[in-house]
Copies of this chain bind each other. A is one copy, B any other.
Amino acid sequence: MKLGGFSLNTFPKGFMSCSINAGIKDNTLDFTILYSKVRASAAAMFTKNQFCGAPVVIGKQNAADGYLQAIAVNSKNANVATGDKGLKDAQKVTEAVAKELSIDSRDVLPSSTGVIGVPLPVEKILTSIPGLKNQLTENGLEQSAKAIMTTDTYPKFRTRKIGNVTISAMAKGSGMIEPNMATMLSYILTDAAIEPAQLQKMLKNAVDVSFNSVSVDGDTSTSDTVVAMANGLAGKVDLVEFEAVLTDLCIELAKEIARDGEGATKLVEVQVTGADDHVIAKKIGKSIINSPLVKTAIFGEDPNWGRIMSTIGNSEHQVNTGAVSVSFGDVYVFKNGAPAEDKRTELEEYLKTNEVLIKISLGDGQGSSTVWGCDLSYDYVKINGEYTT
């Protein structure tokens, strides 16, 4: 387990959860309820994919008023590209969960992740829901982080304290990862008292530098959803401090997603500085993180740095090629527009690490961005060549 340790008393007050097997595909955990004893302020961000999932459509509606009380998540089936039936299925699950919890169905956010284009086995889920209220516990959040996994190899979960206040955050995602607003799925629960508008603003800022800065394969998922719930049971919190911790938590989870990218053997961080603005820096960073030629070279620990130059050169933004410098960690390969002194041996040595840092300076602009990704290995091909069969 790559998880940091935490103790039971670090979970936020008033949140309960349960995770079960509803038999959606196999006998592993596949259905999860996250529940707050009181209605909570809520902020949510969703995929921009036009073929977004049925649960995303309903989740957007239900989170729109800034309040939620429960999240109902299934793995093993994304309920995407499933037509009208898919929408009805998602609504049925939402209503059944609300009934079981005796809450308003408009305070339930449904979420699904898994294969696209296969009808949701909704009857299996509906027959599993009655009685779940009695299975809710206050110490099951880590199990929930495990239950929402698909091709993830380990759960992604973090908890932090700010005085009396606690934030717990979980995420899943390993493939089809290039979040555009949010990651595959992430749920952030806190007992702090925060107004919905404030929560949404902080979440947006945090997501931009975390989940929206990571890519495994350049494919934005149809199910991306990140939701924050703040139920206020621990009282007020310093908002500046809260946003800093929230951002840090999101970055940690985003990096875990890249590190656990399908087939990944190395976490890759690209720091771009000196760009005209943040957007350009991020685009160039993403293009490097997504280049299959760069990714396979890193997997092979091959010092083929010329592929980075090619990727930078393909930017749609004007690059002053004479001002560009590139280093791996502190090993410079290209300095101020010309190849650096040959450091092939040092570079080969450096590439043996399992965390590769690529630093790119484009000049003296003020725009910078850090993005994360992973290498492209045989196992990526294996996992994705055999995913549904």
Contact = CB atoms under 8 A, between A and B. Distances in A.
Interface string A350-389: 0000000000000000000000000011101111111111
A304 B376 contact: no
A321 to B, nearest CB: 6
A78 B176 CA distance: 33
Contact of A313 (B52, B119, B290, B291): B52
A336 to B, nearest CB: 10
B300 A384 contact: yes
A302 B386 contact: yes
Interface in A197-215: none
A90 to B, nearest CB: 15
Given A51-B309, A222-B313, A82 B339 contact: yes
Contact of A296 (B49, B310, B348, B384): B384
A373 to B, nearest CB: 12
Contact of A299 (B291, B385, B388): B385
B84 A338 contact: yes
A11 B310 CA distance: 35
Nearest to A383: B296
Most buried by B among A81, A220, A318, A319: A81
Q: How many copies does the complex hold?
A: 2
A50 interface: yes
B306 A389 contact: no
Interface string A15-36: 0000000000000000000000
A227 interface: no
A314 interface: yes
Nearest to A382: B378
A245 B338 CA distance: 43
22 contacts: A50-B314, A50-B315, A50-B318, A50-B319, A80-B306, A84-B338, A115-B304, A116-B306, A117-B334, A175-B293, A176-B310, A180-B314, A217-B292, A217-B293, A218-B290, A219-B307, A219-B310, A220-B310, A220-B314, A222-B310, A297-B384, A378-B378
Interface of A: 48-52, 78, 80-84, 115-119, 175-176, 180, 217-222, 290-293, 296-297, 299-307, 309-315, 318-319, 321, 333-334, 337-339, 348, 376-378, 380-389
Given A50-B313, A50-B314, A84-B338, 17 more contacts: A50-B312, A51-B310, A80-B306, A81-B334, A82-B339, A83-B337, A180-B314, A220-B310, A222-B309, A292-B376, A296-B383, A297-B387, A299-B381, A299-B385, A303-B389, A348-B389, A378-B378
